[in-house]
Structure 1
Amino acid sequence: MRPSLLLPFFLPLTLASQTSIHNNCAYTLYYAPVDSTPPTPETITPIPPNTSVFQDEWFDGATGTALKITKTSDALWANRPVLQLGYTAAEGEVWYDLSSVNGYDFWGENVVLAGDREGSESIEWLGAPGGTRIAHWVGELGLVLTVCA
């Protein structure tokens, strides 16, 4: 995870929130935050069943950010399915979406991405991957991804 001491230098003032990933599955998930710097095995964080992790939102000034969620710790290097929560922030606005790469590993499970502000859009994949849909919010917004919702 990125040190929170660096956040004020990279984030617009209206975005200072967190992204949380809730693992309601009966198995461990793994995630890595990725921007213009590729992930390494050291950046992979396990999320045990029925727990959550919190990632301070950050922006490297060059790209958006993707939180890559997998069922195995080596999936990013083994051409296995990856669930991606992507977001970017610019001029006090946030864009966010869900997508999958190399297939889909959560068949039959509900995956829900929601903003933490009333009126923000939710993206729900109910048992199967949905098409990529980009949601948008003006102002501060925390994101909540629940796997096995």
Structure 2
Amino acid sequence: MRFTILSFAALASSVTAVGNAIVKNNSTSTFYLWSVGSSVGPRQAIAPGGTYTEALHHDATTGGIAIKITKTNDGLYTGAPTQVFSYSLDGAQVWYDLSTVFGEPFNGQRITVASATGGTIDWPQGKNPGGSQVKVASSDGNVVFTAFKAG
């Protein structure tokens, strides 16, 4: 029994807390997202005021996760403008970034990605203001993508 307790204590001390990837919809219309690594997760509809949360995790095949966001129901499969909030969990750190493909679905709307322990990515007009904006934070905190109302 003593060995079991010591082994459990050693295992518990080796596990580190992991934060979440969160997507907040503070805009006025529903958008859709898919969490993509080596496979595509189910479509999530995020209504105004809604959120999506997943535990930060590592994909052994791709190395990272891309949360792909469109404003159309089937946008991932139709070539609709897609916002990509990507992250890569690397032990005690998480690296995160924003990019787009096929256009800018949040053009004219502010979008951000922020972490309490890392830098903020801010696209005031919903499009890349220029340059690489890769940020890094402690993996025990949350990384939050927020889409704001146009204006």
TM-score (norm 2): 0.80
Q: Secondary structure at the match of 1:107?
A: coil
- 1:7 aligns to what? none
Q: Which has the larger radius of gyration?
A: 2
- 1:25 aligns to what? 27
Tell me whether 1:16 sits opposite 2:14 in the alignment. Answer: no
> Is the CA contact (8 Å cut-off) linking 2:114 and 2:121 kept in structure 1?
yes
Are the structure 2 counterparts of residues 15 and 81 from structure 1 closer, same or farther at C-alpha, using a change threshold of 3 Å? farther
Are the structure 2 counterparts of residues 14 and 105 from structure 1 closer, same or farther at C-alpha, using a change threshold of 3 Å? same
> Is the CA contact (8 Å cut-off) linking 1:13 and 1:92 kept in structure 2?
no
Are the structure 2 counterparts of residues 48 and 138 from structure 1 closer, same or farther at C-alpha, using a change threshold of 3 Å? closer
- 1:148 aligns to what? 148
Match of residue 126, structure 1, among 115, 124, 127: 124
- 1:59 aligns to what? 58
Instruction: Flag structure 2 segments of 5+ consecutive residues without an equivalent.
Output: 1-13
Question: Could you tell me which amino acid in structure 2 is paired with residue 32 of structure 1?
Answer: W
Question: Could you tell me which amino acid in structure 1 is paired with residue 54 of structure 2?
Answer: Q
Are the structure 2 counterparts of residues 56 and 30 from structure 1 closer, same or farther at C-alpha, using a change threshold of 3 Å? same
- 1:3 aligns to what? none
Are the structure 2 counterparts of residues 90 and 138 from structure 1 closer, same or farther at C-alpha, using a change threshold of 3 Å? same
> Is the CA contact (8 Å cut-off) linking 1:15 and 1:89 kept in structure 2?
no
> Is the CA contact (8 Å cut-off) linking 1:83 and 1:98 kept in structure 2?
yes
Distance (whole Å) between structure 1 residues aligned to residue 122 and residue 15 of structure 2 = 28
Instruction: Flag structure 1 segments of 5+ consecutive residues without an equivalent.
Output: 1-11
User: Superposed, which structure 2 residues align to 1:1-149 within 5 Å?
Assistant: 13-14=15-16, 16-37=18-39, 39=40, 43-62=42-61, 63-117=63-117, 120-130=118-128, 131=130, 132-148=132-148
Q: How many residues align?
A: 133
Question: Could you tell me which amino acid in structure 1 is paired with residue 51 of structure 2?
Answer: S
TM-score (norm 1): 0.81
- Percent sequence identity over matched residues? 28
Write out the 4+ residue segments of structure 1 that deviate beyond 6 Å after TM superposition: none
Moved more, 50-59 or 134-143: 134-143
Moved more, 124-133 or 68-77: 124-133
Distance (whole Å) between structure 2 residues aligned to residue 94 and residue 116 of structure 1 = 12
